[in-house]
Amino acid sequence: MLSLSRCTARSISLRALRAHHTQRPPLNSVTEHDLAHFAKFLDPPAILSTLPPVSLPADELDQFNNDWMGKYHGSSTTVLKPKTTQQVSEIVKWCNERCIGIVPQGGNTGLVGGSVPVKDEVILSLANMNKVRSFDPVSGILVADAGCILQSLTDYVAPHNHIMPIDLGAKGSCQIGGNVATNAGGLRLLRYGSLHGTVLGLEVVLPDGTILDQLTTLRKDNTGYDLKQLFIGAEGTLGVITGVSILTPPAPQASNNVILALPSFKNVLPLYEIVKRQLSEILSAFEFIDRTAYDLAVKHGQGRALSDQEVEGAECFVLVETSGGRREHDEEKLADLLESLLEAEKPLINTGVLAQSPAQFASLWALREGVTEAVSKEGKPYKYDISVPLSTFQEVVDGTREHLRSKGLLGDHAVKHVIGYGHVGDGNLHLNIVAESYTPEIQDALEPYVYEVVASHRGSVSAEHGIGAMKTHALHYSKSDVSIAWMKKIKDLFDPHGIMNPGKVLE
């Protein structure tokens, strides 16, 4: 009880402080006393802790404390793996009363340090909430626990001829709840739009433990404020998503893909226009990989490489995917496009390859999807996931490389590669700087440089990966003071004790 009153006292004094946007006082650490409480409603395997009586060695928690890139490191003592929404609610309620920080964790594939603690917050893993609740093959509406892995949901709806509206390289590990929490974009956004449109409802445990059940399966529901939208992209700072209702589109009956080799980046934009016009409704992805990114993907075994002849003289590559309802129709359209591209007077492409089988289809995609993984195998990546005008993609990549060169940081001793790839169709560039190791010099050379470049193009400092712990200080490059002030008000309203994913999104 002692701890409770301490927490209440703090929140009262906070109220006065908050008007001045002062930092909240530090949160409490988890104690044995807390573990004893959790043990009342959680099975023993659901509590992983270095504290007695569980007393696991610290390295058992490594996979939860460290992020996918090995860049962010938390020092949490305790991971909880509830199985039900009720259990999540009880955990959150207790932590709120005790002022213990909580980091909701999905597949821990986030790329901005949002999924690991900044200090020793409790990690609330959704991994054990992994059941499909319902699927209606007529409407295509899927309701699932937040901890369901994206790939397993794809497999679940496949026999019913549906696909998930979202797809990304991390699909084998990331969870639908994590996707929603980060408002992940991915490879199908061009065709199926963002999760703000495809998510129909959410079940969320609010920071005081209340269960907000908005798990509707209605496509249309204009009944006042659409609260669920706040949690999409909130990165776990407003509550824990426990259930997701999502609209899955019918599976396309035919899919094809090609990789086109371009002599110059300048051709990407005119190519995009032609491809859009000629393929119209069957165009489902238009992805860009620069030469260095391609070479890294090949070097690290992501998909079968094109022949030397085909890559010769290519400055960058574009992957085009079509999905449609009739194979013959789609193939004809695609063949017409490719023929006109090859036979053009001033061809925009050098050459290209067309998948001849599902295996090749997958292999071509692997060259694009595998870039993220290849970059991590090559070295320590600094990842900037930005929205800038398409016409400036190359300029941003080359500019960054030159900037690093001018600082003497380009070379095997510091930055090995500066690469660009991304979702051209969405104006989203992934600018990756692959370094030998993470160092303050490189960090200082990159920031605020990159953010200033983005701001000069009126772009976004985070197109799809979110803010996490990485970009809190850079939020102002893309959001006005007024926007940030209202975001803070919303945060305070939902989470007055500041327990939900502290240190993330807002400073």
Does the footprint of ligand FAD cover residue 177 (CB under 6 A)?
A: yes
Cα 218 to chain centroid, rounded = 26
Shortest spacing between CB 136 and ligand FAD, in angstroms = 23
Contact between 122 and 31 under an 8 Å Cβ cutoff? The reply is: no
Contact between 217 and 141 under an 8 Å Cβ cutoff? The reply is: yes
Match 């409802």 to its residue by tokens.
Answer: 201
Q: Which positions from 258 through 287 interact with another protein, judged by CB under 8 A?
A: 258, 260
Q: Which phi and psi (to 5°) does residue 364 adopt?
A: -65, -40
Closest CA to 492 of 152, 15, 6, 143: 15
Q: And the tokens for 457?
A: 């193009």
With CB under 5 to 8 Å by kind, the binding choice for 364 among another protein, ligand FAD, none is another protein
Shortest spacing between CB 357 and another protein, in angstroms = 3
Return the number of the residue (5 or 307) whose C-beta is nearest another protein.
Answer: 307
With CB under 5 to 8 Å by kind, the binding choice for 465 among ligand FAD, another protein, none is ligand FAD
Between the CA atoms of 251, 246, 68 and 87, what dihedral angle is there, to the nearest 10 degrees?
Answer: -140
Question: 455: buried, middle or exposed (CB in 10 Å: 19+, 13-18, 0-12)?
Answer: middle
The residue at minimum Cβ distance from ligand FAD is 178
CA-CA distance, 382 to 142, in Å (whole number)? Answer: 36
Q: Which positions from 183 through 202 interact with ligand FAD, judged by CB under 6 A?
A: 184-186
Q: Which phi and psi (to 5°) does residue 45 adopt?
A: -65, -15
Tell me the window of 32-40, 99-107, 218-226, 253-261 that interacts with ligand FAD (CB under 6 A).
Answer: 99-107
CA-CA distance, 490 to 1, in Å (whole number)? Answer: 29
Q: Are strands 254-262 and 316-324 parallel, antiparallel or unpaired?
A: antiparallel
Shortest spacing between CB 274 and another protein, in angstroms = 15
Which of 323, 351, 372, 462 is in the footprint of another protein by CB under 8 A? 351
Q: Which positions from 283 through 342 interact with ligand FAD, judged by CB under 6 A?
A: none
Does the footprint of another protein cover residue 252 (CB under 8 A)?
A: no
The 3-state secondary structure of 456-468 reads: HCCCECCCCCCCC
CA-CA distance, 456 to 461, in Å (whole number)? Answer: 11
Q: Which positions from 353 through 412 interact with another protein, judged by CB under 8 A?
A: 353-360, 362, 364
CA-CA distance, 394 to 313, in Å (whole number)? Answer: 17
Does the footprint of ligand FAD cover residue 179 (CB under 6 A)?
A: yes
Q: Which positions from 467 through 496 interact with ligand FAD, judged by CB under 6 A?
A: 468
Return the number of the residue (184 or 261) whose C-beta is nearest ligand FAD.
Answer: 184
Tell me the window of 98-106, 291-299, 341-349, 432-440 that interacts with ligand FAD (CB under 6 A).
Answer: 98-106
Does the footprint of ligand FAD cover residue 181 (CB under 6 A)?
A: yes
With CB under 5 to 8 Å by kind, the binding choice for 342 among another protein, ligand FAD, none is another protein
Binding mask 194-233 for another protein (x = CB under 8 A): ----------------------------------------
Which of 310, 315, 398, 447 is in the footprint of another protein by CB under 8 A? 310
With CB under 5 to 8 Å by kind, the binding choice for 378 among ligand FAD, another protein, none is none
Sign of CA dihedral 205, 209, 212, 213: positive
Does the footprint of another protein cover residue 344 (CB under 8 A)?
A: no
Collapsing DSSP to helix, strand or coil, 205 comes out as strand
Residues 6+ apart with CB under 8 A from 279: 320, 322, 333, 334, 337
The single-letter code of the amino acid at 494 is F
Shortest spacing between CB 278 and another protein, in angstroms = 15
Contact between 507 and 472 under an 8 Å Cβ cutoff? The reply is: yes
Q: And the tokens for 482?
A: 């007024």
Does the footprint of ligand FAD cover residue 174 (CB under 6 A)?
A: yes
Residues 360-398: b if buried by 16+ CB within 10 A, e if exposed: ebebbbbbbbbbbbbbbebbbbbbbbbbbebebbbebbe
Q: Which positions from 123 through 142 interact with ligand FAD, judged by CB under 6 A?
A: 126
Question: 322: buried, middle or exposed (CB in 10 Å: 19+, 13-18, 0-12)?
Answer: buried
Does the footprint of another protein cover residue 295 (CB under 8 A)?
A: no
CA-CA distance, 384 to 176, in Å (whole number)? Answer: 23
Tell me the window of 108-116, 219-227, 246-254, 406-414 that interacts with ligand FAD (CB under 6 A).
Answer: 108-116
Does the footprint of ligand FAD cover residue 169 (CB under 6 A)?
A: yes
Which of 38, 64, 68, 384 is in the footprint of ligand FAD by CB under 6 A? 68
Shortest spacing between CB 54 and another protein, in angstroms = 17
Q: Which residues bind ligand FAD (CB under 6 A)?
A: 68, 103-111, 114-115, 126, 146, 168-170, 174-175, 177-179, 181-182, 184-186, 235-236, 240-241, 372-373, 464-465, 468, 501, 504
Q: Which residues bind another protein (CB under 8 A)?
A: 258, 260, 304, 306-307, 309-310, 338-339, 341-342, 349, 351-360, 362, 364
